C-alpha cells in the first residue's frame, strides 16, 4: 500500500470517527439510541440520602403535591396537614434509593419531548411534560430530584385481543436525574408516584360496633326516628312509638351495622371545606361498649359523593366488678383481660377523636341504607284480596260471604248446584228384513222408552 493511499485511509477514518462522535453527543438530530447494559448494576443515584429525606414535592404539568414529615407522621400539605399514609412514602423512598439503570439513553435535548422529559413549565402539552420528584431535608434544602418521563412498553409477541396490532405491556420508564442531562431507561414504571393528594391521604376511618341506639335528626320532625335494642344481638324497635305504628324488622335490620365499615374518598380543605354544608341529616348513635357518635352529612352531588363530619366521645368502666368466688389465678386473668380491653377502647377513642374538625368526602352508599324517613321503615298494611285487580279490567271474585245467600263469616262450604238433567237417547231406526217369496217383513222391536 502506497503512502498516499494510507494517508487517504487515515483521513477517512478520522472523518468517520468525528461524525460518530457528533452523533453520539447530539443523538443524531432526531434519533434515540441506547447502549447495552453491563452485567454490573449501576444505580441512578450513587448515594441517595434516604435517611435525611423529610419532604417530597411531586410536580407535573397541572398540579403540585407536598408531603412533609411531621413530629408524629407524614402530612399532606394540600389537605390542610392531614395525615398521609406512611407505607407508600417509605416504599417510594426505598425504590428510588435502589433504582438501577437498565440502559443509558443517548438523546439530544431537543428530543426530550419525545420521552416526556420537558420541564412542566416549558412543556406545550401533557405529552411532553415530565413529572418532577424533589426530595428535601428538614430545613427544606434540596437533596436530590428525579424527572419521570414516558413509560416504556414492550411487545408481548402476541396479537392484542382488543385489536389494533400486537399486545404491549409496561416494562419500564425513562428518567433523568435532575442535576444532570443523562437519560436512563429503568426497569420500574414508578406508577405510584402521582401528584393527586387523595392518593396519599391516610384513609383509615372510624368504625361503629355494637349499636345500642340510633337516631335520625333532620329538618322535618315527621321524618325523624329513634331506634333502640335491649341486647347486642337483639332487633331494633322504636324508642317512642306513635299510636298505631309497627316497625318492619326487615327494613331496619341493616341499621344494626350502620357505619361498621365506612370508607372515605378524600378530605375537603381550605375554602372548599368551608363551602361544604352538612345539615341534611344527623345520626346520633350510642353503643353497648360506651361510645357516643354524632355524624352529620350533606347533600349528594352529581358523582354520588357527599360531605361528612364526625364527633365522638366515650365513657368506660374503669374498674372491673369481681365475680363471686374467684380464685387468685382467675382474678389475675380477668383483670388483665379487662385492662387490655379498656386500653383498646381508649386508643380507639383517641384515634377517632383526631377525625373531628375535618370535612370528609364519602360515597353516598355509606348512608343510603339508613337515611330513611319514618314512614319508610313502617310495616305496610296488608291489602284486602276482595276486589283486587289481577289484570287490566279483571278483578278477583268475592271471598267467602260473597255467594248469594251465604252471610259473611259463615263456615266455608262447597256450594251445591242443581244437577244437570240427563238427555234422552235417540230412538233407533227400524230395520227392514229382506223380502223374498213366502216371507213377510218383520218389524224391528221398539227401543225401550226412558
pLDDT in tens, 307-358: 999 999 999 999 998 888 889 899 999 999 999 999 999 999 999 999 999 9
From CA 45, how far away is CA 57, in angstroms rounded? 18
Percent of the chain with pLDDT over 70: 76
CA distances from 200 to 75, 148, 195, 258 (A): 9, 18, 9, 27
- Cell numbers that stand for 3 in this block: 503512502
57 has which bridge partners?
66, 134
pLDDT exceeds 90 at position 416: no
Best CA proximity match to 66, nearest among 75, 57, 53, 79: 57
What's the whole-number mean pLDDT along residues 36-65? 87
From CA 22, how far away is CA 26, in angstroms rounded? 6
Query: pLDDT band for position 27 (50/70/90)?
Result: very low
- Coil, helix or strand at residue 398: coil
CA distances from 164 to 127, 158, 160, 167, 428 (A): 21, 12, 6, 8, 90
pLDDT tens digits for range 140-170: 999 999 999 999 988 777 887 777 777 777 7
Left (φ > 0), alpha (ψ -120 to 50) or beta: where does 163 sit?
left
pLDDT tens digits for range 68-77: 999 999 999 9
Q: What is the structure's pLDDT at 169?
A: 79
145 has which bridge partners?
134
* φ, ψ dihedrals at 99, nearest 5°: -75, 120
Query: pLDDT band for position 10 (50/70/90)?
Result: low
Q: What is the structure's pLDDT at 324?
A: 83
Residues present in the chain in total? 450
Q: What is the structure's pLDDT at 16?
A: 55
Residue labelled with grid coordinates 341506639 = 213
Best CA proximity match to 183, nearest among 121, 107, 128, 249: 107
pLDDT exceeds 70 at position 15: no
Given a contact cutoff of 8 angstroms between Cβ atoms, the answer to whether 396 and 384 are in contact is: no
Neighbours of 378 (CB within 10 A): 18
pLDDT exceeds 80 at position 281: yes
Q: What is the 3-state secondary structure (H, E, C) of 7-58?
A: HHHHHHHHHHHHHHHHHHHHCCCCCCEECCCCCCCCECCCCCCHHHCCEEEE
pLDDT exceeds 80 at position 367: yes
> pTM of this prediction?
0.72
From CA 297, how far away is CA 279, in angstroms rounded? 6
Query: pLDDT band for position 38 (50/70/90)?
Result: very low
From CA 320, how far away is CA 340, in angstroms rounded? 12
Residue labelled with grid coordinates 360515597 = 363
What's the whole-number mean pLDDT along residues 248-257? 94
CA distances from 238 to 34, 235, 249, 442 (A): 74, 10, 11, 99
Q: What is the structure's pLDDT at 158?
A: 81
Q: What is the structure's pLDDT at 2?
A: 59
From CA 15, how far away is CA 341, in angstroms rounded? 83
- Coil, helix or strand at residue 263: coil
- Coil, helix or strand at residue 220: coil
CA distances from 170 to 60, 158, 428 (A): 20, 15, 99
Going through 244-387 in order, the beta strands assigned E by DSSP cover 264-268, 281-287, 291-297, 305-314, 359-363
Percent of the chain with pLDDT over 90: 66
Amino acid at each position: 500500500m502506497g503512502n498516499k493511499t494510507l494517508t487517504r485511509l487515515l483521513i477517512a477514518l478520522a472523518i468517520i470517527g468525528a461524525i460518530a462522535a457528533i452523533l453520539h453527543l447530539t443523538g443524531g438530530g432526531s434519533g434515540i439510541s441506547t447502549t447495552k447494559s453491563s452485567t454490573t448494576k449501576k444505580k441512578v443515584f450513587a448515594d441517595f440520602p434516604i435517611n435525611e429525606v423529610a419532604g417530597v414535592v411531586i410536580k407535573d404539568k397541572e398540579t403540585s403535591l407536598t408531603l412533609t414529615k411531621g413530629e408524629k407522621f407524614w402530612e399532606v400539605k394540600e389537605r390542610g396537614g392531614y395525615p398521609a399514609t406512611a407505607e407508600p412514602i417509605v416504599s417510594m423512598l426505598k425504590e428510588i434509593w435502589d433504582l438501577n439503570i437498565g440502559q443509558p439513553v443517548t438523546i439530544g435535548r431537543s428530543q426530550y419531548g419525545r420521552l416526556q422529559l420537558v420541564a412542566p413549565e416549558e412543556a406545550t402539552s401533557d405529552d411532553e411534560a415530565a413529572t418532577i420528584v424533589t426530595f428535601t431535608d428538614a430545613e427544606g434544602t434540596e437533596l436530590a430530584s428525579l424527572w419521570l418521563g414516558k413509560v416504556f412498553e414492550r411487545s408481548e409477541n402476541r396479537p392484542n385481543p382488543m385489536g389494533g396490532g400486537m399486545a404491549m405491556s409496561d416494562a419500564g420508564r425513562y428518567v433523568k436525574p435532575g442535576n444532570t442531562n443523562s437519560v436512563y431507561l429503568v426497569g420500574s414504571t414508578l406508577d405510584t408516584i402521582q401528584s393527586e393528594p387523595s392518593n396519599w391521604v391516610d384513609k383509615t376511618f372510624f368504625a361503629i360496633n355494637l349499636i345500642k341506639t340510633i337516631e335520625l335528626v333532620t329538618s322535618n320532625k315527621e321524618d325523624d326516628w329513634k331506634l333502640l335494642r335491649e341486647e347486642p344481638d337483639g332487633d331494633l324497635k322504636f324508642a317512642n312509638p306513635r299510636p298505631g305504628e309497627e316497625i318492619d324488622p326487615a327494613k331496619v335490620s341493616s341499621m344494626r351495622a350502620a357505619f361498621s365499615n365506612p370508607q372515605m374518598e378524600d378530605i375537603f380543605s381550605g375554602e372548599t371545606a368551608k363551602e361544604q354544608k352538612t345539615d341534611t341529616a344527623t345520626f346520633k348513635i350510642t353503643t353497648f361498649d360506651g361510645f357516643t357518635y354524632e355524624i352529620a352529612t350533606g347533600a349528594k352531588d352529581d358523582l354520588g359523593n357527599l360531605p361528612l363530619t364526625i364527633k365522638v366521645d366515650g365513657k368506660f368502666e374503669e374498674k372491673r366488678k369481681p365475680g363471686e368466688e374467684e380464685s387468685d389465678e382467675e382474678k389475675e386473668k380477668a383483670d388483665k383481660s379487662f385492662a387490655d380491653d379498656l386500653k383498646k377502647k381508649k386508643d380507639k377513642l383517641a384515634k377517632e377523636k383526631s377525625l373531628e374538625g375535618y370535612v370528609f368526602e364519602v360515597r353516598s352508599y355509606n348512608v343510603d341504607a339508613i337515611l330513611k324517613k319514618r314512614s319508610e321503615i313502617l310495616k305496610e298494611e296488608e291489602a284486602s284480596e276482595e276486589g283486587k285487580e289481577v289484570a287490566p279490567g279483571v278483578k278477583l271474585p268475592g271471598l267467602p260471604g260473597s255467594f248469594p245467600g251465604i252471610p259473611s263469616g259463615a263456615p266455608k262450604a262447597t256450594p251445591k248446584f242443581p244437577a244437570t238433567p240427563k238427555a234422552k237417547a235417540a230412538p233407533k231406526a227400524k230395520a227392514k228384513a229382506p223380502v223374498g217369496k213366502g216371507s213377510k217383513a218383520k218389524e224391528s222391536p221398539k227401543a225401550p222408552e226412558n
